[in-house]
Structure 1
Amino acid sequence: MIPRQCPYLHRIGAPQYRRSIQCNACSGASWHVAGCFPDIGPRLQVRHLVAAITIYRRRNLTLPTDGAALDGKSAGRQCHCSTRREEMTGHAHQTPAQIRASLGHPVIDGDGHWVEYDPVFAEQMRKVGGDRAADGFLAAMNVTKAGLDMSVAERKRRRVAMPGFWTRQTGNTLDRATAMMPRLFYDRMEEFGTDFAVIYPTAGLRLPRIKDDETRRAVIHAYNIVSAGYFEKLSDRMTPAAIIPMHHPEEAIAELEFVTRELGSKAAMFGSAFPRQVESVKPDPEADRFAVWYEVFGIDSPYDYDPVWSRCRDLKIAPTFHSTGSNQALRNSPTNFVYNHIGHFADAGHAACKGIFLGGVTRRFPELRWAFLEGGVGWAAQLFGDLIEHWERRNIRALENMKPEKLDKMKLLSLVEKYGYGDMLAALKARNGTPDPEMHNTGGLEDLDDFSRCKITRKQDWVDLFATPFYFGCEADDRMNSIAFGKVNPFGAKLNAIYSSDVGHFDVIDMRDPLPEAYELVEDGFITQNDFHDFVFGNSVRLWGTQNPNFFDGTRIAKEAKALLGQAAVRTAAE
């Protein structure tokens, strides 16, 4: 019901009202009405302490009228506003709790973030890992500050990318505190509509790229110890992803064994797409960062990473990648952060996924499940199609049609002569009828089949080697998430999109927004309720639970996860 104390709210509660009331300041007394009446519309300031925000009469939603909500003191916790999404789309959201209550299954956040408080975190690292660990961590964190301290002219001169500025919440203090303190995060999970979350780092995202071997290993080792301590008493609803350094297989295996055996880690974030120096370029401290190539493991690596994947299988760890592609190559603007930021996670995920696939890793390790986070699934759908189309034209049998000796040189000469291109005819005759003899070389390759390690012989191989083992972390408001469940994908395959709130970062204005934003795809008819089940629950269970059937033991969703994994096991046995 609409509180009778507010005549304005009664006025806009007419049946034709289809939008929402939005607050300007959740803890204040000034409320903004975004209605469909031109005489009041978005201009009206309603002076009334009302904590509930959404009126959506088509869903028979009601405003809470309890005294605690109306006194204004707890308004910041109870109202659910969206200054961004509802204005842009016209959607009047149910609250996360209302959506969760309507579902017949739990909700798993496959990629939430916490924001480590660097000054305190570094000193905790110093206690467990010494000065190298703490100072190396702080040096890595200082990269952003150093970039922001430069003038625009200096960044242009040195070609230093514009870092993100103002990337932490200040207008929403509660969410800022929530990102910093896992216990507060834990206490608010029902408010977010989330039953269980895999929590990824923020500061920790850049640590796998630390160049010096000893520093990188010390920093990551200490980081994992400190991070595990923050979450050890919250394991029924949250688990942190440990960081795995990947510059060398030996360091990856050592840290994998440590975090699983000593810290009890169940999820792990592997470094990928990190730069390696080009050996032919003379070392130069100023220019070294440009003379690099990027590691993607499956192909062209100086190291054999199969022992790492084998150890993942033994330790029941699904490799997940949350690597960045910003501040390098085509995302290196010294003036525009948004230019650098858009698409960079997708770019890094695309590179790692493509390398792992073409390297035949999913063929050699069919039991492993892999995830590429925060880049969405649109790039994955395109990559899936691109790989198939290239295979159709570049597999070893198709290449037979492209062999230089297949060309009928006499026919080509006669056609050129017939159509009167005299200069072309002369050039061809000078080359013995061959248009491009310089292109006949194969670059010294012994194996001309770029897909040879995949060993593809039938249509089902594409599903088994790509659609089944790969999972893709998708932010809630990404409309391309629907592609994962659509009919447009090759062979009618569904791609494994997993709900990833990205809470804790600047692109989530309110931590209660992601679940309602994700649910818009159901409301708008782009995906079904069954698709949504897979998006926010089923796919995450299969990602981590297929690899480790005990992953969800002791959590609040253990029963539901076990039941789903049991159904999957029955289907596999039947096949």
Structure 2
Amino acid sequence: MNDRLSRLQLSPSAAVKQQLDYPVIDTDVHVNDYTPDLEDYVTNYGGVHLVDALRKASEDRIARGGVGNGKSWYEQTPEERHYYRTIRSPWWARVTKNTLDVATYHLPELFAERQAEQGSDYSVLFPNNVLAPLGVRDKDSRTALSRAINHYHADLWRKHSAHLTPVAGIPLHTPEEGLAELDFAINTLGLKAINIAGSVSRPIKALADKFPLDQHPELKKYISYQDFLGLDSEYDYDPFWAKVVELGVPILTHYGSQGWTGRSSTSNYMNNHIGHFADGTEAFAKALFFGGVTKRFPKLRAGFLEGGADWGARVFIHLVDRFEKRSRKGLENYDPLATDRAQLAALFREYGAELIKDRSLNGEDLIRDTLGKGYVNGSRRPKESELEDFAAAGIESAEDIKSRWVDNFFFGSESDDRTIAAAFNDKANPLKTKINAIYSSDVGHWDVPDLTHALAEAHNLVDEGIISEADFKAYVFENPYKLYTEANADFFKGTAVEAKLKATAKV
């Protein structure tokens, strides 16, 4: 007890929290599973073959897949890495020196005891195995393993539900698969939030027909594309989004892009890592926006974690800027029929005599020689349905963009991420808007070597004048609270958050 009190008194985050009159909600806390216990649970749940599937999926995730010679990056020589284009994966990616934290991330009782040191009233947990089943190709095994792991985490953390809740991992290879696992996780296990990947890798049919994957498995990575679920998708995911809204479930994702073009260094992990969560989740978020998902489901709430919040502001700015130029009205400036042929010819005769010499200015010749043959009369004109990229999103004004980008989406920003200033910069953001930045400490990963420092680091942003006290409150409480309660008004019922709000209201 004395040791616990001593730790609490030494925690800089606990000291910050004592000064706040509102709850702190941490939207991104990573915990590890004690492997023997998890594997025993999986075995009892579905047999030893599920353990084999889990182990293989974990190994493949570390190896990053793709062309190889059966060796991991660390086993290959530099020449082999270059030859096979094996991208550099992380090394020493977990906290080790801080032994107390190592134990904390594995032991629910210890984590619950230390949450006050973390500086949070409520934390949403992301067990590192939660999306491991996505690497399992066989659907039946993937389904069984998803259920086993979600069930394990639900049982493991249930007694601490007043302060902690684990997410459920939901595979979305098809909408039907996602719907089945969503129903099990929410209605059977009683979990409240889900974690999904932002895309599904699918074969490019024209290449898969030419190079069948059963004959050329090493080409899987290179003859595939990413289906971002909301735009140009292989399937209609609307039934899944509809069920998510009906059940009141916030969608969360840590979707990265390591291995994509520009993030495929064979020697440098930091080159592949910096910005990859922002890139990956940006692709997913834009698919939901341009595919009209947020138009059709205005109550859908999605949190994009680990990528920072500045990209949410940047994309919002670009959406508004580009809508002004590329809306249906704006496109009138680029219609080939809008060019005054006679005026253009007259200007060339007056100012371009040295250029045109004896060349023809008659008919569509000048149009062809200046703008290109695609602009001459008689060239193919796009159909009305092909003309405007904002059509499916139903955008008619900048206010519509705010409604379908800012209101639906929340952007996880880690405690030491100074780029959060862009989210709260209502002078630069259109319509004087502040983006929904949410506190996502990411404790449990290598970027937080001490869990007692995260909230204090976040408050340093106020001390340094990067954000205001009001912004800090929005960051660690108001925006996370909106994310979860706008999806499900009862999300915090019976939790420490509800208790603290009630106590504060009586003061």
1:336 aligns with 2:276: no
How far apart are the structure 2 equivalents of 1:129 and 1:518? Answer: 43
The equivalent residue for 2:474 is 534
Q: Which amino acid aligns with 1:300?
A: D
The equivalent residue for 1:461 is 400
The answer as to whether partners of 1:375 and 1:472 remain within 8 angstroms in 2 is: yes
Q: Measured at CA, do residues 256 and 174 of structure 1 come closer, stay the same or move farther in structure 2, by a change above 3 Å?
A: same
Q: Which amino acid aligns with 2:365?
A: N
The equivalent residue for 1:114 is 31
How far apart are the structure 2 equivalents of 1:341 and 1:213? Answer: 30
Match of residue 422, structure 1, among 326, 335, 355: 355
How far apart are the structure 2 equivalents of 1:247 and 1:364? Answer: 22
Q: Measured at CA, do residues 524 and 414 of structure 1 come closer, stay the same or move farther in structure 2, by a change above 3 Å?
A: same
The answer as to whether partners of 2:130 and 2:150 remain within 8 angstroms in 1 is: no
The equivalent residue for 1:436 is 372
Match of residue 19, structure 2, among 102, 105, 114: 102
Aligned length: 482
SS where residue 90 of structure 2 aligns? coil
The equivalent residue for 1:503 is 443
Q: By how many angstroms is 1:441 displaced?
A: 4.1
Q: By how many angstroms is 1:350 displaced?
A: 0.2
Structure with the bigger RCO (C-alpha within 8 Å, sep 6+) is 2
The answer as to whether partners of 2:438 and 2:480 remain within 8 angstroms in 1 is: yes
Structure 2: gaps (5+ residues): 64-71
Q: By how many angstroms is 1:389 displaced?
A: 1.3
Moved more, 128-137 or 305-314: 128-137
More helix by share: 2
The equivalent residue for 1:14 is none
TM-score (norm 2): 0.89
Give the alignment of 1:184-199 within 5 angstroms: 184-199=110-125
How far apart are the structure 1 equivalents of 2:83 and 2:480? Answer: 45
The equivalent residue for 1:395 is 327
Match of residue 325, structure 1, among 248, 257, 269: 257
1:447 aligns with 2:386: yes
Q: By how many angstroms is 1:444 displaced?
A: 6.9
SS where residue 545 of structure 1 aligns? helix
SS where residue 557 of structure 1 aligns? helix
SS where residue 386 of structure 2 aligns? coil
The answer as to whether partners of 2:200 and 2:229 remain within 8 angstroms in 1 is: no
The equivalent residue for 1:140 is 57
SS where residue 221 of structure 2 aligns? coil
Moved more, 519-528 or 307-316: 519-528
The equivalent residue for 1:300 is 232
The equivalent residue for 2:130 is 204
Q: By how many angstroms is 1:412 displaced?
A: 2.9
Q: By how many angstroms is 1:359 displaced?
A: 1.1
CA deviations on 1:475-496 (whole Å, 9 max, x unpaired) are: 1100011222222211011111
How far apart are the structure 1 equivalents of 2:250 and 2:358? Answer: 59
Q: Which runs of 4+ in 1 moved over 6 A?
A: 73-78, 427-430, 562-565
The answer as to whether partners of 1:108 and 1:536 remain within 8 angstroms in 2 is: yes
Give the alignment of 1:175-254 within 5 angstroms: 175-254=101-180
Larger Rg computed on CA atoms: 1
Give the alignment of 1:371-390 within 5 angstroms: 371-390=303-322
The equivalent residue for 1:490 is 430
The answer as to whether partners of 2:22 and 2:504 remain within 8 angstroms in 1 is: no
CA deviations on 1:248-291 (whole Å, 9 max, x unpaired) are: 00011100100111110001112223321111112321122011
Using the aligned pairs only, state the percent identity. Answer: 35
Q: Which amino acid aligns with 2:366?
A: G
The equivalent residue for 1:556 is 496
TM-score (norm 1): 0.79
Q: Which amino acid aligns with 1:530?
A: A
The equivalent residue for 2:339 is 407
How far apart are the structure 2 equivalents of 1:423 and 1:250? Answer: 63
How far apart are the structure 1 equivalents of 2:301 and 2:180? Answer: 21
How far apart are the structure 2 equivalents of 1:127 and 1:201? Answer: 20
Q: Measured at CA, do residues 564 and 99 of structure 1 come closer, stay the same or move farther in structure 2, by a change above 3 Å?
A: closer
How far apart are the structure 2 equivalents of 1:233 and 1:201? Answer: 16
SS where residue 180 of structure 2 aligns? helix
Q: By how many angstroms is 1:124 displaced?
A: 2.0
Match of residue 168, structure 1, among 64, 86, 94: 94
Structure 1: gaps (5+ residues): 1-67, 81-94, 566-575
